[in-house]
Amino acid sequence: MATMKLGSKPEIFVLQDLTWRCTTELESDVVVEVGEMSFYLHKFPLLSRSGVLQRMISEYQAPADGGGMCTLQLDDIPGGAKAFELAAKFCYDVKIELNALNVVCLRCAAEYLRMTDDYAEGNLITQAECFLVDVLANWKDSIKALETCEGVLPTAEDLHLVSRCITALASKACGSDAAAPVVRNASVDKDALWNGIRSGDTTSSAAAAAAAAGMDWWYEDVSFLSLPMFKRLIQAMEAKGMRDESIAGAIMFYAGRFLPGLKRNTSFSNALASYGADGSGGAGGGMSSRNITPRAASVSAPSEGDQRYFLEEIVALLPTKKGVASTKFLLGMLRTAMLLHASPLCRENLERRIGAQLEDASLDDLLVPNLGYHVETLYDIDCVQRILDYFMSSTDGIGTGYTSPALAEEGGGSLGIPQGATPSSSLSPITMVAKLMDGFLAEVAPDTNLKLPKFQALAAVVPDYARPVDDGIYRAIDIYLKSHPWLSESEREQLCRLLNCQKLSLEACTHAAQNERLPLRVVVQVLFFEQLRLRTSIAGWFFVSDNAAGGDGARPHAGGAIVPKGTAAIAGCPQADADSDVEGDAPDGKETITDVKARVSDLEKECKSMKQEIRRLGKPRRSWSLLTRKCGFGAKVQQAQTAMSGK
């Protein structure tokens, strides 16, 4: 911390109770009262330095009885008794030390007392101004000086001390931000536990990215400022061109310290205790509840109205750019806004922001407790549906990953996944949201108060083509049917219309075929499509086998289809190219027959494994025989074995 020493004489002031006395040979002839503190001083040192004290002493009229000393009242001096003590010592040329914590108050007190160079060369105003230049050249000292401005408003505003501190801080932070690299895709720690659900810290991806790049070094320092000062500092940084990511990171850090509700496992009282753990008090006296800072939170807990005002101001202060504030942080703010009954405009703002980047949300953060006056369900389904509607309306097909059905068919494979890319790294936003909503539906499905129309409405918002596989929605429907056994057959069928039986995996089909909760019509559809899938798969294998062993021209297939020789006939089979290569290289077709034998053996093993799995799940033996006969699988295998033995 920068310091400046003034004066040359030793200490001559002595404090007794609430009275400062000057221990000199001369008896005091003037008393200055500042609040509850009294200063017994001498007129001459004061007259030679202060224009205000000179005027007050000259205008003082002694009582009619002629008794008592000259008494002056200075209750409204900026900085109070502490600032006047330093000014009085300066008048007596007693050694004092200026630092970042007292220079602002002393500068304001000197202005109030009119301690200019007109009365003495190198007076207190000049000395304080010279030292302020050194203070504002250092980040830490500038922060401390800005904090002390809180106690001497509006004098500090009139002297432009606040704006000077803010400008100095903004310039230093922006200079560092411009030199720091941008880090993207930072991971979010998820190790906290709330209500039995894995929950992450309120640290956002933007804040984590800033930390990795060394951009967050100033976040903690500015988090101790009051809300008005913090807002002015952020606005000054925006005006100087600071990146939205850095601004959002500072705002999220600031909100996380002041709003304990952002952390689900932290109560407000615990948060206040942590704020006061460092033993630091407020920056200055006279602050209103709306100016309270996290450092002063241990002194007086802000009311619900103050917290609501704080949250609404923070939401309005966040940059509008998508992605700079993490979805986790925004959902935490939304939960807190509901708890504090924030304005509808504030909540709508948060819901729209969340909807614009819903693909980045996690399931546990999306489980927003229902805090309405008429609580029906455990979680706020209507809020999630509004967020989902905002997401669907914000996607435009250009740069958002919103893939239309036509584009999905042209690209082939899973929806939104380019050729050769891995699903985990290339999922489109709408596919990620579809998976997220399937998980959400499964979490809320056990709620017996969740009405069928509300469940259907939420599930129907996501289009069918957004789900590469329907296992997630099937699981949610099954949980809902299990928790609502009173549904009629028509309601069950209506609910199952959300399900595309053609997009169920083998495990889901096996489960659905034995699921007594599903309508019979749905079970029949599952069996039909699974049979069709097995027939198509087996036929594809034997198309390859028959064409590989048949020679030139065309020959009838065992199933009755005429399959011409060549790769065009088997283009739909993933093994077509490999089989063609084997056939071209093998002498007399020996390697081709060996390959077919191996494939038949693999099919037999796979069918045996499927049979054991169905037995384990309780499927009767007779049903397996019936399924294989319907699929034509047994006949195909027998024909293949006969053909190979003949060769």
- State the CATH number of the domain containing residue 84: 3.30.710.10
End-to-end, the C-alpha distance of the chain in Å comes to 95
**Rg of the Cα atoms in the chain:** 39
Q: Tokens 């283009």 appear where?
A: 571
**Domain-ending residue, one of 542, 564, 581:** 542
Which domain does 526 fall in, by range? 429-542
Domain count, the chain: 2
Q: Is residue 350 part of a domain?
A: no
**Domain-ending residue, one of 161, 180, 197:** 161
Distance of CA 109 to the CA centre of its chain: 45
Q: Is residue 297 part of a domain?
A: no
Tell me the residue type at 267: S
Identify the pLDDT of residue 188.
37
Which residues in the chain come in under a pLDDT of 70? 64-67, 178-214, 261, 263-301, 372-375, 395-426, 540-597, 599-600, 603-604, 606-647
Q: Residue 485, Cβ neighbours under 10 Å: how many?
A: 7
Cα separation, 509 vs 512, in Å, equals: 5
Write out the two tokens for 591.
Answer: 């390697």
Please report, to the nearest 10 degrees, the dihedral formed by the alpha carbons of residues 39, 42, 47, 53 taken in order.
30
Identify the pLDDT of residue 373.
64
Tell me the residue type at 555: R
**Domain-ending residue, one of 490, 519, 542:** 542
Length in residues, the chain: 647
Identify the pLDDT of residue 539.
72
Cα separation, 152 vs 161, in Å, equals: 10
Q: Is residue 504 part of a domain?
A: yes
Cα separations in angstroms, 405 against 408, 410, 412: 5, 9, 11
Cα separation, 489 vs 503, in Å, equals: 23
Q: Is residue 433 part of a domain?
A: yes
Q: Is residue 331 part of a domain?
A: no
Give the torsion sign (CA, 230, 231, 234, 239). Answer: negative
Q: Residue 418, Cβ neighbours under 10 Å: how many?
A: 13
Cα separation, 572 vs 140, in Å, equals: 69
Q: Is residue 393 part of a domain?
A: no
3-state helix, strand, coil in the chain (%, to 5): 60, 5, 35
Q: Is residue 416 part of a domain?
A: no
Identify the pLDDT of residue 67.
63
Cα separation, 66 vs 61, in Å, equals: 10
Identify the pLDDT of residue 392.
93
Extended strands (E) in 467-566? 554-556, 562-564
How many H helices and E strands in the chain?
A: 30, 11
Q: Is residue 41 part of a domain?
A: yes
Contacts of 513 (CB under 8 A, 6+ apart): 523, 526, 527, 530, 619
Give the torsion sign (CA, 187, 188, 192, 196). Answer: negative
